[in-house]
């Protein structure tokens, strides 16, 4: 029977115009799913936090530590691997010059010993933050960024902005574009250069500004934006090495005001001051008997540097102070440096030289 069926099928297939159903072809084998390519884990920049205290840590009932600060901002982990260390925990006005030297040496040591370190954030009280930042600007011998930050409100106050400032500072320190711009000051999502920034208001959050020059950039939600470089010599190009400096020389600052006595300048010299800075009126005017104090200082070989108390503007090199009666002796000019920053530069300069021409060169270059 089976043979007859097969024979009939063969006869039909041989007839023209007759279609015979074919057995279906076997299905092709299913493709084997391949494993997705391995994705390398993201390597975050490494940032060191060096905490010195200040309002950002001054919680009611006890100061926050460096570790407390990092723990309070979980978003830091999205931008960098942050390691914290406590250098001090006090108000900025209580930091000593010896501690300034210690902070500079510590920052330099971290950069020297940890080549994979991307940047360093230093927390500081805002009252003298601009002074510490400028000191580090002159004494840190590395291109990698050092960012100084703090807060105007303490952790126990409504509207405490310390966490936001710390996050912004870490983002800047972790950004490759921050390298080579000197020490930076980051608060209120603005980036200012240490040389030009100053605290402009005793209470308001928007207090740090670079009068006459503007900020270097901003910290936005999507990225860090830089718009200009910091001019003048600083950090890796600085000639100041504090490795072996045991103490900074004494330099005092004097305000020019109507009828100011010169005996205060004389007293400072007699007490051991190795340099004097005058915050002159306008573009170099002095008053009262200050001219006598300047003469006394110069006769003893003490350099006198002129700045302006106006808040902005330059004192031109070798321009003489103006009085209505007696011509003043020659003195040095700090350009557009503020009085407190001229003091810092003069202290460091005096660790290297007392030659007036060389001192003026440094005032011009930094």
List residues with catalytic annotation: 55
The structure tokens listed for 204 are 């308001």
DSSP letter at 2? H
DSSP string covering 238-271 = -----TT--SPPPEEEEE--TT--THHHHHHHHT
Residue appearing with tokens 């060389």:
358
**CA 209, CA 232: separation in Å to the nearest integer?**
18
Helix (H, G, I), strand (E, B) or coil at 295: helix
**Cβ-based neighbours of 218, under 8 Å, separated by 6 or more:** 189, 190, 191, 224, 225
- Burial bucket for residue 120 (CB in 10 Å: 0-12, 13-18, 19+): buried
Q: Which residue in 121, 127, 80, 83 sits closest to 103, CA to CA?
A: 121
Would you say 149 and 56 are in contact if contact means Cβ atoms under 8 Å apart? Answer: yes
């Amino acid at each position: 029977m089976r043979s007859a069926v097969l024979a009939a099928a063969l006869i039909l297939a041989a007839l023209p115009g007759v279609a015979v159903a074919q057995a279906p072809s076997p299905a092709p084998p299913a493709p084997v799913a391949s494993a997705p390519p391995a994705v390398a884990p993201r390597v975050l920049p490494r940032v060191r936090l060096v905490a010195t205290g200040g309002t950002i840590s001054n919680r009611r009932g006890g100061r926050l530590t460096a570790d407390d600060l990092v723990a309070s901002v979980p978003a830091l982990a999205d931008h960098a691997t942050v390691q914290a260390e406590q250098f001090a925990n006090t108000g900025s006005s209580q930091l000593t010059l010896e501690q300034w030297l210690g902070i500079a040496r510590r920052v330099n040591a971290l950069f020297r010993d940890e080549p994979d370190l991307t940047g360093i954030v230093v927390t500081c009280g805002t009252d003298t933050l601009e002074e510490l930042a400028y000191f580090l600007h002159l004494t840190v011998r590395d291109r990698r960024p050092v960012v100084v930050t703090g807060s105007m409100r303490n952790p126990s106050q409504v509207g405490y902005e310390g966490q936001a400032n710390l996050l912004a500072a870490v983002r800047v320190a972790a950004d490759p574009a921050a390298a080579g711009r000197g020490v930076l000051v980051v608060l209120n999502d603005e980036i200012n250069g240490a040389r030009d920034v100053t605290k402009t208001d005793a209470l308001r959050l928007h207090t740090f500004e670079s009068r006459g020059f503007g900020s270097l950039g901003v910290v936005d939600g999507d990225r860090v934006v830089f718009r200009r470089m910091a001019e003048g010599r600083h950090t890796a190009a600085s000639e100041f090495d504090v490795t072996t400096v045991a103490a900074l020389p004494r330099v005092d600052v004097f305000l020019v005001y109507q009828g100011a006595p010169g005996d205060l300048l004389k007293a400072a010299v007699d007490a051991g001051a190795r340099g004097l800075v005058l915050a002159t009126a306008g573009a170099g005017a002095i008053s009262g008997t200050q001219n006598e104090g300047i003469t006394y200082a110069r006769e003893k070989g003490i350099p006198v540097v002129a700045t302006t108390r106006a808040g902005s503007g330059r004192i031109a090199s070798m321009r003489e102070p103006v009085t209505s009666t007696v011509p003043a002796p020659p003195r040095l000019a700090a350009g557009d440096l503020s009085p407190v920053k001229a003091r810092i530069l003069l202290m460091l300069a005096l660790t290297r030289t007392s030659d007036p021409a060389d001192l003026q060169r440094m005032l011009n270059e930094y």
